[in-house]
Structure 1
Amino acid sequence: MSSSRFPRNFTPPASPTASYYDISDDDENGYSTITNTSTGRSVKLLYSKSKVYVHPTPSKIDNIPGFVALVQQKPPPSDVPSTPPAVAATLLLAWLPESALGDAYDTYVKVDLIDAEAPPRQSYLVPPPPATVYAPGTSCVGNYAFAVPVSQIYSLLIRPPNFGWWWGSVIINTRAGDSFPALFFHDSECASTIAQSKKRAKANFDPFGEGGALYWGGDEVLRWLRRYVRVEKSEVEPSVYLVEPSQEDLLSFGSKPVTVGRAGESSTSGGAGMDPFTKMFKEARWGFLEKISRVTRFTRRTAEDILDSPKVPLQVRRLLKNPDVVSLQDEFDSARLYLARWAMGIAEQSEKERQQDHQVVWANRDALELEDSAVGEFEILDLESGSTKLDSEKRKPVSLEEWNRWFDPKTGKLAIATNEVKERIFHGGVEPGAARKEIWLWLLEVYPWDSTRDERIALMNSKRDEYVRLKGRWWDDLDRRNNDEYWRDQKNRIEKDVHRTDRGVPIFAGEDIPHPDPGSPFAETGTNAHLEQMKDMLLTYNEYNTDLGYVQGMSDLLAPIYAVLQDDAAAFWAFVGFMERMERNFLRDQTGMRAQLVALDHLVQLMDPKLYAHLESADSTNFFFFFRMLLVWYKREFKWDDVLRLWETMWTNFLSSQFHLFIALAILERHRDVIMDHLKQFDEVLKYINELSTTIELSSTRVRAEALFYKFQRVIEAADRKSGFVPPGEGSCEMRKRRTGSICGESSSSSCAELTSGAASNKGKNVQGRNGEIVPNVSPELWALLNRDIVRAK
């Protein structure tokens, strides 16, 4: 984190002259103004929130836990503040590290756990927080503590938690132009936020906060402030909240959108022919530039990259391309830099949090030494030899004729070993057409592998009836449902996503029937029968899985299944089977995606320490550049037909239920030289990987991923041999790989302890083998990659 982020000498204004609260005589004796820190007297603690971190560096180990709090100082008794500015001057928004609280820690915890909209009626007095932020660069944890009068807060830059950014964050900007350290809300650790989320979900099935967003700790800070002062959300940039804004502020930052007339019309009599945004910019020019000059500066290159991002508001991008604005940027270079921060919050993005305690799977230096040694465990496999070399017959797709030969003609029960079937599909895939329509129902657990023909007929009839019943819950209740805000929101999300999913695929192309809903935004363009079936299935899944509902990305997973099966009931239950393993990708707390990125981190660190060291130097070991690929299983990275072949390969779980991580490793290995020779920054890695979309060749990637899996297996077996560890009752890594039951990671249980090879007691350390050699500490995340059981959401 840049040292320019921290103001050095922040001094609050003079204390107001009266207390906003009536307090007892006992309390009054210890109730103090913030500036009187030497007397040991106290301030009133109104609100607090625990597990709010400052991240001084990108490394997780340096994160500092603390409390964000709203406190009130006691002014002299001559005046009673009756106006919002006077009230705001009595209040301070503060952050204090846990280690600096001393005996007051329990009080902060107690106030945090009070479940009430208003401040506690009882007065909780605590020592005054510091009135300045010490210059960074020293080792004292307490140096990041600060307290700022609410009356001096100009704006809050708020980024709620979202896919790719694990923790929500708040940056406080003062009227003097200072920006305090970003505060990151680790809500999964905060007892009060967890309790509030559960309470909301139980009371009204609404775990979301303002505007439909996920409820998080930052919502509480906004609620505290809005109790006492006016807080306006910018409509030009939704992440900016202005505190007690002036009319100039509203003009500069756009609390209300500027109305743009039709082409050829004059917006105002004095601005005929002038673009309204340019006019607004010119009118607010000097006030705007004054604010710009106060804000933390970032590199021009980073700002340009961010401003070219599609995430930047369209109005801002258009504004930046206007000749007058370009000229202004040249005149006042920090204008572009400010807009970059204003639009994207680039300051916090540099943190790139890695949401789990970093565990060194293998120290890079040690691993590199071993790789160059004579041990031979890290030799590169010949992709066409050994375990990956198969005869051409096994690489051919499974036909319906071949599939039918595997069944007993009398009972219709599978007559060969399930593992044989899965191996054949894993290496050869399935022929398009009738074969896929049948076999996918097995791969997606609609049919049990040990079922008879009669059992399958009865099962499908039952599932068709159940689908009709589930669909009827909302279909027969549309009048009431359409008046429910949550339902309408989900319906609109589904419709929007379906109408832009795989429209280049013939079955989803075109609009050949009128839209059944005249109120739909797509009513004028029309629709087609297959799009409507997709919508109905996703609405029914929303009814089936009420805990999760519909989340963006699910339409990408359903489309291939429906396109192959073209049977709504069968496709629905196949989709349900797919979601059993994919649900964790869509959890709103992102624990599922976080676990997979951590596992990928450990896998690359173990398998290619040189590449890992390079990614670490490029600040890219959060592996966020693989987020989209893992989220929807490479749906955007491969061509349509290749996606179908890849998915059926991974559905077999033949080598691992998390084989998709070895696909990721194979992609990295394929582009290893380019990454190491030419990509030095996170944004370069992200851009390069994103631009691989639809250019990745499937066949070689699958073979490479399989080879890497066998290489990984050899490394783990070697680690076992050298450490002398053999789990009770199991004599080989192969046996452990095939064990059933819960696996390590998200679905961990006591049985997982047997798989850690002593890792629990040596977490983050390499261990010494029987002969004194270096042996990697195999993490639970790595052991889990040897398991075939599907990892399901908790």
Structure 2
Amino acid sequence: MSKLLFCKSKVFLHPTSDARDNMAGFLLLAVEPNQQYHQTVLQYIPESSFSSSEIAKLLTYESKLGLCPSSTPFIIENSMNFSNLINTSSGQAFQISLSQIYCIQFRPPSPNGWYVGSLVIYPLVEQFTGFQPPVLFFHDQICPSTKDKLKNLRISMNPFDDSDELYWGGVDLRNRINELTELKKSNLETEFWLVNPTLNDLRNFVSKDLLESYNNQNKNKANPDTPGVKLNEKLQEWKWSVMSKIADVTTKSSNFIDSWLTNNSTIQKSQIDNEYLQKLLNNEKVKQIEQDYDSARVYLANWSLGVKQEAERYQKQNKLFDSYRNNIFNDLNLTDELNDTEINNALQRQFPLTEAKWNSLWDENDGRLRVTVNEVKDFIFHGGLENNNLRGNVWGFLLEIYPWDSSEDERLQIDQSLAAEYDQLKLTWSKDFLQFDDDDEEEYWKDQIFRISKDVRRCDRNLNIFQYNTVDGLPPLSQENENDKDNVELAGEESDEVDDEIRNPHLIHLQDILTTYNVYNTNLGYVQGMTDLLSPIYVIMKDEWKTFWCFTHFMDVMERNFLRDQSGIHEQMLTLVELAQLMLPELSEHLNKCDSGNLFFCFRMLLVWFKREFDMQDIMHIWENFWTFFYSSQFQLFFMLAILQKNSQAILQHLNQFDQILKFFNELNGKLDWNDLMVRAELLFKKFEKMMHVMERDLQSSTSSSSSSSGVLPCQSERLNLLLSKKPIIKHEGKRSKDSVK
């Protein structure tokens, strides 16, 4: 038995130009009970295939579904098996799954009634070679559900929907499909709606930014060699293919690939300084920052940055895409280094991975991924995830709890195994089982528990789930007004300082997870900052065991930041110094003159991946971008480089001392636009990648011609070459001894 999701009567075929040959039928959306909605089948069956009693039932379904199209679907009796009717019909009936449709053209009726609205379905070419469903015509004037809705719209004095579009029968179908799967209108041809489009389809055919850029560049026809004219030609090519009934999917999904210009500007080499001051915290200037700094200069630098941020925000809000694009071009000095595709992919970040899209990526039979992992990561990196509910599903893959090639049954087995393993680990440190070899180990354990408890009580207490230290996590009293609420919150914070007991269930979960990790990774132990890494994962996962394993896999990558000898974070700081000297030579030289060439002010940001500089929702976006390793396993360094680049003019113009720069970066909390920085980080990476390849090519050419070159080029740096790798850098703490932690 099928579930009927949509029913529309009086949908006609017009096989000839003679109206007497018109054939009425039913347009249906149905899905099998064990299938997901993106597997819904669109069916057309002529009225002649049904008995009079079956037609009466379908008209009843149509009436009820028309009143509430999102209501519980109707279960269709076996006697009305639509698939059998299609197979036994005279050839006019057809069916096609929504997952097999590339796009649908919704052609509205003439306002003066000269012609009716119609529907053209374009299947995916590779799945339906030679098959083209017939054009379907909506005779609204005799369709009961459409007539009823038109009557209601006239009574309400609103014959238009929210988008000021004239209502007709095709709108009902379009709205219903949009509830079942992702449906996006092409701004290049507004009658065309892409069904479950790929990311390249969204970039090329739906983007408002690209459309605006196209409209503006359309004016620039004087020079046919300009990038704007090339882009215009590509868009016109797609428009022509649409009007030719979209005969070839590969034509529609063109990526605007332009050849890379091999003539690159000469790269100026700068001397790389590999000295890193590990004892910088003892610098007297650092100790005197709060008491002795030039406040006027720091204020001017912040003011300069604020003006720039507001200008870019205005450009985005008012869709001044070309202005924003030009700013990026000028700021990053891109010139001819990147092609249109690379730039557009970085700038167009308005297509998040939706729950409907995520569900459509998995096979309905065994639950395996139907597309490549890189396609999924492309969606995540360039658009993020739609909401926190979806993050609860996707983060398990990004953090490698689940293999991307696993089946649904295999993932269920993984869940059961990991939940049991976590319970066993947690049991080892319970009071009934915990034993120590000597007094030193017992003292170490108590110190670890104290550190964990202290940091947990201070962790993200601005979030609702962590705010109140009560057994249910809710406010201890009902507040009559905002003042009472503030007083209760303050009282709760003060009580935490003197009360060792943690009552909030979510804080208890954090404490238990960190304590269990202490048992799991006995060599590292607890290090301040781990609560910052754990909190966002718990907010999303909620389940204690799943949060633990996600955190454990995250720590595999982050452990090198917390090594006792600081070698891991030291290596990243040296890499960042080299990267800044190559990509931002003017800023790097200025920072050297300010005794800040070691970029120490970036230390905290890199240590916990910018957790203190952004709010929780922004951090979720940033981290899921990093976790994809889409370009590099060390993309956090390019994000940091983007922060340096974004603030470079403020620093160059207003700051000239170490303490001013440190003060300025310590006050960036809440002032940064993560989306803009991610765009800049991607373009900086692409520029870096091209520079490295050009240098490598030139180096090979000079070697083959036996010409000598003095010094070491950046392309010969092992640190910089590692930035081009997607393989995570894993470094674990050495075996813990009694003297290693004091």
TM-score, structure 1 as length reference: 0.46
Relative contact order higher in (CA < 8 Å, ≥ 6 apart): 2
More helix by share: 2
